[in-house]
Structure 1
Amino acid sequence: MKKAIAKNIYFLILIMTILFTIVYIKFYHIEGSTFSILKEAFNSSGAEHLNSEVYIWSRGGSWFGDFSSLKKMAEEFETDFGIIQNDLYSKNYINNNFVSKIEIIGVTWDGNKINITAQTGGENSGSKETYVSVCVSTDFENCELEGVIENIKDSFRKYNLEPVVSTCITGYFDGKLDYKALNAISKNIFKDSNASKVNGIADRNLISVSAYSPAIGDSINVDGKKINLNLAIRYNSYEDKTYIWLASPVITVEY
């Protein structure tokens, strides 16, 4: 009797171990940074890569009105990120009673395009907000932006700014895709990112779906539901191309 009970316990432990291993492999197969998860999911769509963009921003209320410090910080960001002062480089200022702003635009040695913006309200702005943002974009398909993102986040934190990150990958398909193809693309993306649909809309030329993936750490709350993945697909009849945007947590670019 004792041998039978011990045998059953052994088989129960064995089955639980196997099930745990399957779940572990399924989940951690896609473990990594948000950008790496998005990139892997995007690649499963079969789309041609057009652009990858990361937008990192923060409020800095305690810096209100202190434009000289904001300017110094933006210029130190420029050095931190390795912006080259070539023909594509520019530094612009806006200073009036409503806003004081610096914008630095350039490229890095490895071809990433960077836009640094820091601004604070003027005397007549009626706002006590200060904003700092960095946008990084690249046309390279096999880009590795993970290190760049962490570098930018570290730079923000040096100034006690808590970075908020939005990531978007844009691509396209030649021609107009039918419903069957669009459905297959969506399923592949959500399967590869371990995401579940939260809500969505669809009309003749546009599909937009919001989803949640436990593999992506950050999320936003919309109508009481967690969202950290956004997929949009739109057909452009003028170009005869079907464009796709995959973003986390939501698409912030115009589509």
Structure 2
Amino acid sequence: MKKYLNIRIVMLVVLIISINFSHAENVPVTTEEPLSTAMQATGAEISEVNVNGWTKLAINDASDEDLEDAVKEAMSGFGITKENYKITRSATRYQRIVKAEALLRNMHIVAAAQQLKSLDKTKEPEVYLVINVDSKSQDEITIKDLNTKFANIMENFGGTPHITTCLVGWLDGKLVKDEQDKRLKDAFASVNARIITANTSAQYTSSTGFSPLIINQLKVGSDEININIAMRYSPYDNRTYVIIGSPVITMEY
């Protein structure tokens, strides 16, 4: 049973992928959305928004038609008509997936309905809806709009939305460690966030925290976290990338 649970979690993750209070000092903040506020406080501008989410559906033994209806309804929730997305199907011994994919001018949307079979034949299969959106946008309204649509779509299925939002931005050049630490501190302070963990390596710096301004949260051990900020220098384009996620970063950095 434990082995099956691990397999199921891995499948779901693969599909989803398919401190202290102080005042910010460096950059004046003019946004209202917390993640974009934190990004602006680092001095970087948003270049990419990624939102992904999943929910367990209230059906068990779903047909391919049921799975297809689910992804069609999800696409409709984004205002995308059937002429603008492609549907594909795949199946293995333990899962069946129907996926709808739309590649728009500045946005890539994938909605997938997945049925997972249990190794225990006495248990019913489980069906999940997973949605991922990549948007080339600098507008904080996009962040709010996507989160609202995700929640509405998943609640319409009677499920509980599990939503993760990630922003990507960048700064020119390489920051010395003191400057990087200061910008991270400013970012957390801009949303009244308490830093809970901090990790530094030769490649990146990553910290997690909790902000009362952010609704989403995740419990890790005895700690509740809802914001994760990482900074990484890329020598290939001489940029320091800033990645901000809530409740955690779920994309590669």
TM-score, structure 2 as length reference: 0.78
Give the 3 Å change call, closer, same or farther, for CA 30–82 of structure 1 in structure 2: same
Measure, in 1, the Cα distance between the counterparts of 2:200 and 2:40.
23
User: For residues 71-150 of structure 1, what are the structure 2 equivalents within 5 Å?
Assistant: 71-83=68-80, 89-107=85-103, 111-122=106-117, 128-145=125-142, 146-150=144-148
8 Å Cα contact 2:168/2:241 also seen in 1: yes
Equivalent residue of 1:187, what SS? helix
Measure, in 2, the Cα distance between the counterparts of 1:54 and 1:248.
10
- The equivalent residue for 2:53 is 56
- The equivalent residue for 2:226 is 228
Equivalent residue of 1:252, what SS? coil
- The equivalent residue for 1:177 is 175
Measure, in 1, the Cα distance between the counterparts of 2:174 and 2:81.
40
Measure, in 2, the Cα distance between the counterparts of 1:229 and 1:143.
16
Q: Deviations over 1:5-52 (max 9, x none)?
A: xxxxxxxxxxxxxxxxxxxxxxxx9996xxx21011111211142211
Measure, in 1, the Cα distance between the counterparts of 2:38 and 2:68.
38
8 Å Cα contact 2:117/2:126 also seen in 1: no
Answer 1 or 2: higher relative contact order, Cα 8 Å, separation at least 6.
Answer: 2
Identify which of 198, 201, 222 aligns with 2:199: 201
- The equivalent residue for 1:163 is 161
Equivalent residue of 2:59, what SS? helix
8 Å Cα contact 2:208/2:227 also seen in 1: yes
- Quick check: 220-229 or 52-61, which moved more? 52-61
**Residues matched between the structures, number:** 222
Give the 3 Å change call, closer, same or farther, for CA 141–159 of structure 1 in structure 2: same
How far is the alpha carbon of 1:113 from its aligned partner? 2.3
Measure, in 1, the Cα distance between the counterparts of 2:95 and 2:41.
44
Pick the structure with greater CA Rg: 1
Amino acid at match of 2:88: N
Q: Matched residues, percent identical?
A: 23
8 Å Cα contact 1:30/1:215 also seen in 2: no
- The equivalent residue for 1:9 is none
- The equivalent residue for 2:251 is 253
8 Å Cα contact 1:51/1:140 also seen in 2: yes
Q: Deviations over 1:166-191 (max 9, x none)?
A: 01001112221101220221121111
Give the 3 Å change call, closer, same or farther, for CA 232–94 of structure 1 in structure 2: same
How far is the alpha carbon of 1:83 from its aligned partner? 2.2
- The equivalent residue for 1:13 is none
Give the 3 Å change call, closer, same or farther, for CA 185–69 of structure 1 in structure 2: same
Unmatched 5+ residue regions in structure 1? Answer: 1-28
8 Å Cα contact 1:48/1:171 also seen in 2: yes
8 Å Cα contact 1:219/1:226 also seen in 2: yes
RMSD: 2.6
How far is the alpha carbon of 1:118 from its aligned partner? 0.8
How far is the alpha carbon of 1:82 from its aligned partner? 1.8
